[in-house]
Amino acid sequence: MSSPRFAIGIDLGTTHCALARIPLDGVAAHSEVIEIDQLVTSTELERQPLLASFLYLPPEAEQPLGLPWDAERGFAVGSHARARAAETPGRVVASAKSWLCHPTADRRSGLLPLEATDGVERISPVEASWRYLEHLIEAHDARVESEGPRLAACPVVLTVPASFDASARELTVEAATAAGIEDLILLEEPQAALYAWLEQAGDGFRSQLAPGDVVLVIDVGGGTCDFSAIAVTGEDNALGLERIAVGDHILLGGDNMDLALAHFVKQRLAAEGTELDAWQMAALVHGARVAKERLFNDPTLASAPIVIPRRGSKLVGGAIRTELGKDDLRTVVLDGFFPEVGAEARPAVRARTALTRFGLPYASDAGITRHLAAFLGRQAAALGGSGKLLHPTCVLFNGGVMKSELVRERVRATLDRWLEVDGAAPARILHGADLDLAVARGAACFGRVREGHGIRIRGGTAQAHYVGVEGAAPAVPGIEPPLTLVCVAPFGMQEGASIDIDAELAVVVGERVSFRFFGSSVRRHDEASAALERHPSDEIAELPQVEVVLPAEGRAEGEVVPVRLRATVTEIGTLLVEAVPLAPKKPDERWKVELSVREG
């Protein structure tokens, strides 16, 4: 008898990871969450549905932190690591996923833990991600050893934020490859959430969705805030789904709320005469995260305790004790991050100071409802809608932050008020998805959809991509040469598609050169090779420059080589741009221009 075949879904989250699988054989199949063995103390192992995205780097005296499959493990991933974050923040890696999309950091270098002291190993965001994935793989294989194939033998669907740029997607693939995943595809998290809802609704989804509906997915997780719009197309007996809009990348989520709560508590302690140093502040951030989640998850609690260790103190009595109340949560999180604003509200942009501490490039405006209003307004203009806003008919919530009934109700009421003013009916809420596990389940379901089982969401690239071509011009002080943007990948370009760009271009080989790339989530009608002499900043944003040395290999260093560009959306969903010489020196001569990492 042949072994059963499964597709694996992995949610590699900012604060939690989850793992699910689904049989690929047979007509009827349902996703199954694989619980993950992990340390909850230095010696106690427990099986839990979520793996906390924290990595603890212990001193030698605490090693090894053995696991059933690795008795000599020198680090811990999961619940124990998360617990240690509040006590020894300089030894715990957190928010690695947010660092993967940092626009200027070298994400392959040892950056984390950011608060690490002397003697603590620093690792890269890529390495932290592959260690999380490695733990998931090992836990899966130990869990299902007698019930199915090892994870490496299965197709794996790994989720990323819809707004992840080409760089972050490439680095996610790199981490997965390092962890031993070979058959890999990337899927946007909002799409995964909708796949999970479709599985939960079963055949009944046709009674809740109809042609003309637009599903707004509001996904607020630990590190990012994502908005996507998915249209229902076709006819009743042959429905289709198409992702028609994706918001900009917004580094705003639960991490920001934890920081805000920590500052709120710090100010209260200062008023009481207790000052915290930077090390204690880092511990307070982790303590605030735990208290926030307890209060959101348990409506019966009026408050949750926070314990802040004193540096060098090993006695519980020497710690600083305080608490976070439900009213504090309403003031800081609800009013601070989900303010009741009008549909015309837009995120404020503040001027940054010349000097700043190195850290994550968080959004400058914390108002998620303002970002949502901006998304709906921009997409209405891009899609040619009749009102001032894109009019969603349904809303699907996703992400750990949206588990809170208080938050969901605030967002629902605010959105309904906007739609009413814009002359549209209130949006229906799509209920039923488990917000902690929906993305992993939906990713697994997509593995079946790829084999022809179920309805597929058509998407393609979430942005149109452009390369900047500098024009010839006399040198004039203070005047930049004209820059033309050439579209290399139109919005919605499908996986597996390649396009040759019809433009006369040239590259310099053997010397370090810079490529300027741009992206737009609203320009849907620019075709490949389209040249834009004017490019409004509210529609097109510049991506980090790519600095490379294109190898000469038989050509003179500094030689200018006429080329054409070829853009390919790979099967795993990343963008590949190649410069192909018009007069090649050898067969298949070409240079790969990676939209991934700006080194140094």
One domain for residues 147 and 273: no
Pairing of strands 156-160, 184-188: parallel
Residue 589: which of 599, 579, 597 has the closest Cα?
A: 579
Ordered per-residue pLDDT tens for the chain, 600 residues: 456 789 999 999 998 999 999 999 877 789 999 999 999 999 999 999 999 999 999 999 999 999 999 999 999 999 999 989 888 888 999 989 988 888 778 888 898 998 787 789 899 999 999 999 999 999 999 988 767 789 988 999 999 998 887 788 889 999 999 999 999 999 999 999 999 999 999 888 889 999 999 999 999 998 889 999 999 998 766 789 999 998 888 889 998 999 999 999 999 999 999 999 888 888 899 899 889 989 988 889 999 999 988 765 454 457 899 999 999 999 999 999 999 999 999 999 765 544 445 567 788 899 999 999 999 999 988 887 677 899 999 999 999 899 999 999 999 999 999 999 999 999 999 997 789 999 999 999 999 999 888 899 988 888 889 998 887 666 567 677 788 999 999 988 988 899 999 887 888 899 888 888 898 888 888 999 999 988 887 889 888 777 888 888 889 999 999 999 999 988 777 788 898 999 998 888 898 876 653 332
Q: Assign residue 318 the CATH number of its domain.
A: 3.90.640.10
Q: How far is residue 119's CA from residue 138's CA, in Å, rounded to a whole number?
A: 28
Decide which of 186, 221, 240 is a domain's last residue: 186
What phi and psi, each to the nearest 5 degrees, are found at residue 493?
A: -60, 130
Is 439 within 8 Å of 11 (Cβ atoms)? yes
H and E: helices and strands count for the chain: 12, 31
User: Does any domain span residue 208?
Assistant: no
One domain for residues 173 and 71: yes
One domain for residues 293 and 149: no
User: Does any domain span residue 215?
Assistant: no
Decide which of 271, 306, 337 is a domain's last residue: 337
Q: How far is CA 384 from CA 104, 161, 523, in A?
A: 35, 26, 12
As a 3-state breakdown, the chain gives helix, strand, coil percent values, each rounded to 5, of 30, 25, 45
User: Does any domain span residue 201?
Assistant: no
Is 19 within 8 Å of 451 (Cβ atoms)? no
Question: What is the longest distance spanned by two Cα atoms in the chain?
Answer: 77
The answer to whether the pTM exceeds 0.85 is yes
| One-letter identity of residue 490 | P
Alpha helix segments (H runs only) across 387-526: 405-421, 438-449
- Quote the number of domains for the chain: 3
User: Does any domain span residue 409?
Assistant: no
One domain for residues 19 and 127: yes
First to last CA, the chain: 54
One domain for residues 26 and 150: yes
User: Does any domain span residue 573?
Assistant: yes
One domain for residues 12 and 158: yes
What six digits make up the tokens of 454? 């179920």
One domain for residues 162 and 38: yes
- State the residue range of the domain holding 133: 6-186
One domain for residues 279 and 173: no
User: Does any domain span residue 342?
Assistant: no
One domain for residues 22 and 170: yes
Cis ω before 49 (30° cut-off from 0): no
User: Does any domain span residue 308?
Assistant: yes
Decide which of 159, 186, 213 is a domain's last residue: 186
One domain for residues 14 and 153: yes
